[in-house]
Structure 1
Amino acid sequence: MVFFRKQFANVVEWEEFRDDMIFWKWTNREIKKGSKLIIRPGQDAIFLFNGKIEGIFKDEGEYDIESQIIPFLSTLKGFKFGFNTGMRAEVLFVNTKEFIVKWGTKNAINIPTLGLPGGLPIRANGTFTFKVNDYIALIDKIAGVRNSYLVEDVKLRITAILDQLLMKWITKEGKDMFNLQANAFDIGKGIKEDLDMEVLDDGLTITGFNIISFSYPEEIQEMINKTASHNMVGDINRYQQISMVEGISSGKVKGGGAASDMAGMMIGMNVAKELMENMNKGEKEQVKEKPNFCPNCGQKTGEGNFCSNCGKKLV
């Protein structure tokens, strides 16, 4: 009798488990007396009967369906343990982990930019994360008509609207087109909120959206790099001074012995001369213009540098 029972028993488990699979449905088979349910780490098992959720089991382990599962189900009344004929039911296994997906723009996005009639072509890349958060919506919209669902399916849906969302949030509030990386957090936050609304009805939620980098056409990037380097240096004279000092300290002046010392001394003299000239230049720039009236006696000034009435120095 025991042998007769076991030949009808089966194991309800996720047989085709893949890390990139969001859910998989055990279906079109009979649950027999003596059958077992196996739930692995990171999985939830949802029992369905006539399209309705009858029970959700989240704790990993091996369960006897007759004694541990059926008592918690509400409508599987047709499952009569006095017979060896089983009851048809579906079990949906859901991957509960958070999925990480890499994304990147396939083609450049032409962002409207002042002075560029065709727009500024920009590419971007990054990651987004999502997970299942509503089993009822997932079953109604997707699992009801599919036996499995992959991360690639979600990625295709997201990337189909990503270009429009990037354009929307890049151009919002007049962002600096040549320094988008500084605004990457705000842009990503806005896109995350829009994407979350897009997949909400499917029982999914976007838990994060990150922009790793923006890229420009080569000539635009060179211009940005030059502008940044000039801003860091401040002025060309200071850049030359820094370059001279770096040349000495880094040992780029070679030749050994007296020759090296002489070269270093000459460069040092040039640096000193350059510094003195800049100091004198600065002092000259600070010289005030001669006043029209003497600040001491009020006499109108003439061509000289001293007041003709009281002799006070005017400049």
Structure 2
Amino acid sequence: MSFFKGQFANVVEWEEFRDDMIFWKWTNREIKKGSKLIIRPGQDAIFLFNGKIEGIFRDEGEYDIESQIIPFLSTLKGFKFGFNTGMRAEVLFINTKEFTVKWGTKNAINIPTLGLPGGLPIRANGTFNFKVGDYITLIDKVAGIKNTYLVDDVKLRITSTLDQLLMKWITKEGKDMFNLQANAFDISKGIKEDLDMMVLNDGINITGFNVMSFNYPEEIQEMINKNASHSMIGDVGKYQQVSMVDGIASGKVKGGGTASDMAGMMMGMNIAKEMIENVNKTKETSNEAKPNFCPNCGEKTGAGNFCGNCGEKLI
């Protein structure tokens, strides 16, 4: 009999391992006497019988199935191997690591913006992280009908809803459409919570979501950059006047499309408003500074900047 010993034995292991594979199912084969289970680092093995979980094994190593695995299975702990008797079961191998996935909007998202009838076209990109959190739910909703599950399967589902979620959280609480990066943390946090609820029913947990950058059309980005640079100039009023004249003379404000034209108009109106306010402040300051009577001779002052009686400078 020693000649036949172990001739039907097999090795139960993750045979088609890939870094982007979330789980892989060892199936449609009979486990024979003397078979081994191999669990590698970053893997968990789940024994399934008739679609039900019999046991979950998390520690890496090599195990004798008859002596070290079967005694811990729920309904198969009393199973005895015979010479021609094997056990037909499935083993699901789970990748336990946290996956990091890059994402980016394929097309521009037109975010509703006051003064822009077609919305402000914005693109965004970043990363999200996920891992398997609930084995029972994963088996019930996904592994029951699939033999493998890839990162791309999760990414496809996530990215299919990102446009709607980005629009929801960008427009929430009236965020500044021309400075979204300042609100990136709050937007990311809101999207993460929504995504986590969405994939929770598949046994997946979203462990992180990050918006790395928001991208505007080139013409609008140039306007945003120029407008931002105003705060770095000492004489803002003067710089605004020069900037407007420069834009009109160079023709850069023409032909940019409806969105950029409207955005330019909005920025231009804001700049013009600031210029008028600056001029009015200057006049008010000037009027307040001129005395009604000459501090030198006491004569009543007129409209000039010097006293008509003694020539004293009034301003």
The reply to whether TM is greater than 0.5 is yes
Aligned residue for 1:152?
152
Amino acid in structure 1 at the alignment position of 2:212: I
Q: In 2 relative to 1, CA 137–115 (structure 1 residues): closer, same or farther, beyond 3 Å? A: same
| Equivalent-residue separation in structure 1 for 2:293 and 2:100 (angstroms) | 76
The reply on whether 1:301 has 2:309 as its aligned counterpart is no
Aligned residue for 2:194?
194
Aligned residue for 1:10?
10
Amino acid in structure 2 at the alignment position of 1:65: I
Structure 2 unaligned blocks of 5 or more: 240-281
Aligned residue for 2:260?
none
Per-residue displacement from partner, 1:207-230 (whole Å, max 9, x unpaired)?
Answer: 000111111111101101111122
| Equivalent-residue separation in structure 2 for 1:175 and 1:186 (angstroms) | 10
- Count matched residues: 268
CA contact (8 A) 2:11 2:38 kept: yes
Aligned residue for 2:267?
none
Q: SS at the partner of 2:29?
A: strand
Aligned residue for 1:134?
134
Q: 1:224-239 residue pairs with structure 2 within 5 A? A: 224-235=224-235
1:85 Cα deviation after fit: 1.4
Q: In 2 relative to 1, CA 190–236 (structure 1 residues): closer, same or farther, beyond 3 Å? A: closer
CA contact (8 A) 1:78 1:87 kept: no
| Equivalent-residue separation in structure 2 for 1:16 and 1:2 (angstroms) | 33
1:82 Cα deviation after fit: 3.8
| Equivalent-residue separation in structure 1 for 2:49 and 2:237 (angstroms) | 81
TM-score for the superposition, normalised by structure 1: 0.78
For the pair shown, the structure with the greater C-alpha radius of gyration is 1
Q: In 2 relative to 1, CA 302–149 (structure 1 residues): closer, same or farther, beyond 3 Å? A: closer
Aligned residue for 1:118?
118
| Equivalent-residue separation in structure 1 for 2:288 and 2:134 (angstroms) | 75
The reply on whether 1:70 has 2:70 as its aligned counterpart is yes
1:168 Cα deviation after fit: 0.2
Per-residue displacement from partner, 1:132-171 (whole Å, max 9, x unpaired)?
Answer: 0000000000001111100000011001101000000000
CA contact (8 A) 2:127 2:212 kept: yes
CA contact (8 A) 2:130 2:207 kept: yes
1:5 Cα deviation after fit: 2.7
TM-score for the superposition, normalised by structure 2: 0.78
Q: SS at the partner of 2:214?
A: strand
Aligned residue for 1:92?
92
Q: SS at the partner of 1:142?
A: helix
Amino acid in structure 2 at the alignment position of 1:63: Y
Per-residue displacement from partner, 1:264-302 (whole Å, max 9, x unpaired)?
Answer: xxxxxxxxxxxxxxxxxx9xx779533446899xx8835
Aligned residue for 1:273?
none
Structure 1 unaligned blocks of 5 or more: 240-281
Q: In 2 relative to 1, CA 294–92 (structure 1 residues): closer, same or farther, beyond 3 Å? A: same
Q: SS at the partner of 2:5?
A: helix
CA contact (8 A) 1:138 1:204 kept: yes
Aligned residue for 1:277?
none
| Equivalent-residue separation in structure 2 for 1:33 and 1:136 (angstroms) | 28
Amino acid in structure 2 at the alignment position of 1:206: I
CA contact (8 A) 2:70 2:78 kept: no
Q: 1:175-186 residue pairs with structure 2 within 5 A? A: 175-186=175-186
| Equivalent-residue separation in structure 2 for 1:314 and 1:185 (angstroms) | 55
| Equivalent-residue separation in structure 2 for 1:40 and 1:46 (angstroms) | 13
Amino acid in structure 2 at the alignment position of 1:8: F
| Equivalent-residue separation in structure 2 for 1:149 and 1:209 (angstroms) | 21
| Equivalent-residue separation in structure 2 for 1:125 and 1:70 (angstroms) | 48
Per-residue displacement from partner, 1:53-109 (whole Å, max 9, x unpaired)?
Answer: 111111101001111111111211573224431010110000000011110001100
Q: In 2 relative to 1, CA 138–216 (structure 1 residues): closer, same or farther, beyond 3 Å? A: same
CA contact (8 A) 1:79 1:86 kept: no
| Equivalent-residue separation in structure 1 for 2:313 and 2:104 (angstroms) | 71
CA contact (8 A) 1:36 1:64 kept: yes
Q: 1:196-235 residue pairs with structure 2 within 5 A? A: 196-235=196-235
| Equivalent-residue separation in structure 2 for 1:184 and 1:2 (angstroms) | 69
Aligned residue for 1:263?
none
Q: SS at the partner of 1:2?
A: coil
Q: SS at the partner of 1:4?
A: coil
Q: SS at the partner of 1:220?
A: helix
Structure 1 stretch displaced more, 230-239 or 88-97: 230-239
Amino acid in structure 2 at the alignment position of 1:205: N
Q: Give identity over the alignment, percent.
A: 83
Amino acid in structure 1 at the alignment position of 2:199: V
